């Protein structure tokens, strides 16, 4: 009989990197275990969600079965969830953790579990400290992770951060999967480039995902100005695709101040999977100019399309880029360093087969070790009985 595992985390109909990760995790673990997802019926209240929608409106979407039961702001609901987990009595209980907002929800759910189940709690910590830091964040994170008996991290950066509170609790290491679930066969055809208003002589840089200060779009805009001043013959164009969670006017002012209206196109909207394919296929390079990071689903999505990347040397981003092989690492999150990294990429573009290198790099992705990690944890739990 297969071991029973409950995963607490978002999946369809929610959108975003966390939902996609839980979906891939479910598919991976289901090969060996009987897996149930406790999904959210309320993830974020509308008042706290800065985007237009929390839901995936794509026609092409990975759908898996889940129990939509958790209300992130209702304490009575948390006790109900605890009682159901107690009734199912899983062999392992896995929480997907990425933000201290969920601290009280996760704490209370775990508080009312039976003792034997409390010894089976695993937290996959995608982030330990969130990107929008505040003075209470460290306290909330410690509270939310209080009942964890084991941790699984997805980058060395999070592993090092987590060691500050983990004590004797074991930390296991894996990675985000390569998000290659979308159709990547469509090439950068003339028709596709023309539909975006680009010519074959243009070199298109893609910034993808929602816009917040820590993601450094302002740095990238200033870098584009420098690139065009130094190498105007490159005809570099910036394509921005994703919702603005910041004040968009500040970015538009920056574009106007640098006279970059003809070099930068902005699509401030939710990007469906059908359109994701087009944005990545039209791009020559994907740039992640982040001021802070742990890991990024955007990076793994770019690799899923065999697209080279420029990343800043912050957090765990550079762990997943081989400089000069799968992309370029900018030394610091500054406009000058990002500019130099972009220029370096285009210098190497015709000398290095980035696409081949990315395929080889992705073949070594260790997300597949999740089942081995889970098996190790299950054996340890059994031995400690």
pLDDT in tens, 289-348: 999 887 889 999 999 999 999 999 998 899 999 999 999 999 999 999 999 999 999 999
Topology (CATH) of 190-362 = Rossmann fold (3.40.50)
Question: Which 3-state string (H, E, C) describes 125-155?
Answer: ECCCCCCCCCCCHHHHHHHHCCCCCEEEECC
Cβ atoms of residues 159 and 153 within 8 Å: yes
List 93's β-bridge partners, or say none: 6, 121
In 3D space, the residue among 98, 114, 81, 99 whose CA is nearest the CA of residue 6 turns out to be 81
> Cα torsion for 306, 310, 314, 319, to the nearest 10°?
40
pLDDT single digits (tens) 149-168: 999 999 998 999 899 889 99
User: Could you read off the pLDDT of 213-268 as tens digits, one per residue?
Assistant: 999 999 999 999 999 999 999 999 999 999 999 899 999 999 999 999 999 999 99
| CB under 8 A, 24+ apart: contacts of 131-139 | 131/212, 131/214, 131/292, 131/293, 132/212, 132/214, 136/100, 137/100
pLDDT tens per residue across span 170-188 = 999 999 999 988 865 555 5
Asked whether residue 134 carries a pLDDT value surpassing 70, the answer given is no
Distance between start and end Cα atoms, the chain: 19
Burial of 61 (0-12, 13-18, 19+ CB in 10 A): middle
Average pLDDT over residues 360-365: 94
Mean pLDDT (the chain) is 92
Q: Is the pLDDT confidence value at 133 over 70?
A: no
Contact indicator for 311, 299 with CB cutoff of 8 Å: yes
Q: Which CATH number fits domain 4-177+366-383: 3.40.50.2000, 3.90.1150.10, 3.10.310.10, 3.40.640.10?
A: 3.40.50.2000
Q: Which of 102-106, 127-131, 233-237 has the lowest mean pLDDT?
A: 127-131
Task: Say how far apart CA 320 and CA 18 lie, in whole Å.
Answer: 18
Tokens 């081995």, located at residue: 372
Fold equal for 4-177+366-383 and 190-362: yes
Q: How far apart (Å, rounded) are the C-alpha atoms in residues 384 and 381?
A: 5
Q: List all residues 6 or more positions away from 83 whose beta carbon is below 8 Å from its beta carbon.
A: 112
Q: Residue 129: exposed, middle, or buried by beta-carbon count in 10 A (0-12, 13-18, 19+)?
A: middle
Query: What are the sequence ranges of the domains in the chain?
Result: 4-177+366-383, 190-362
Residue 120, pLDDT > 90, answer yes
Model confidence at 90: pLDDT above 70: yes
């Amino acid at each position: 009989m297969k071991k029973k595992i409950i995963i607490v985390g978002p999946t369809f109909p929610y959108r975003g990197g966390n939902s996609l990760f839980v979906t891939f995790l479910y598919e991976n673990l289901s090969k060996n275990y009987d897996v149930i997802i406790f999904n959210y019926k309320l993830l974020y209240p509308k008042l706290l969600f800065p985007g237009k929608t929390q839901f995936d409106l794509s026609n092409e979407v990975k759908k898996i079965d889940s129990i939509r039961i958790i209300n992130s702001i209702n304490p009575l609901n948390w006790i109900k969830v605890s009682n159901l987990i107690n009734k199912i009595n899983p062999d392992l209980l896995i929480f997907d953790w990425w933000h201290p907002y969920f601290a009280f929800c996760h704490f209370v759910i775990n508080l009312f579990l039976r003792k034997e189940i409390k010894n089976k709690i695993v937290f996959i910590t995608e982030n330990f400290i969130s990107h929008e830091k505040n003075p209470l964040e460290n306290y909330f994170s410690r509270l939310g992770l209080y009942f964890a008996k084991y941790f699984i991290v997805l980058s060395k950066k999070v592993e090092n951060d987590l060691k500050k509170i983990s004590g004797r609790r074991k930390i296991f290491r894996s990675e985000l999967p390569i998000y290659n679930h979308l159709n990547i066969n469509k090439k950068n055809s003339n028709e596709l480039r023309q539909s975006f208003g680009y010519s074959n002589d243009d070199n298109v840089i893609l910034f993808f995902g929602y816009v917040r200060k820590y993601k450094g779009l302002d740095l990238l805009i200033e870098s584009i100005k420098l690139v065009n001043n130094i190498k105007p013959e490159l005809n570099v164009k910036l394509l921005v695709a994703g919702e603005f969670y910041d004040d968009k006017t500040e970015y538009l002012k920056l574009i106007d101040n640098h006279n970059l209206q003809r070099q930068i196109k902005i699509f401030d909207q939710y990007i469906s999977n059908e359109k994701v394919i087009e944005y990545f296929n039209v791009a020559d390079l994907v740039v992640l100019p982040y001021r802070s990071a742990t890991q990024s689903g955007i990076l793994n999505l770019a690799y899923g399309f065999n697209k080279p990347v420029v990343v800043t040397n912050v957090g765990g981003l550079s762990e997943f880029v081989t400089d000069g092989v799968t992309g370029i690492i900018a030394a610091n999150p500054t406009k000058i360093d990002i500019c130099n990294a972009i220029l370096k990429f285009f210098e190497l573009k015709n000398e290095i087969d980035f696409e081949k290198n990315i395929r080889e790099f992705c073949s070594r992705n260790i997300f597949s070790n999740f089942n081995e990690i889970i098996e190790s944890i299950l054996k340890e739990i059994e031995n400690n009985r």
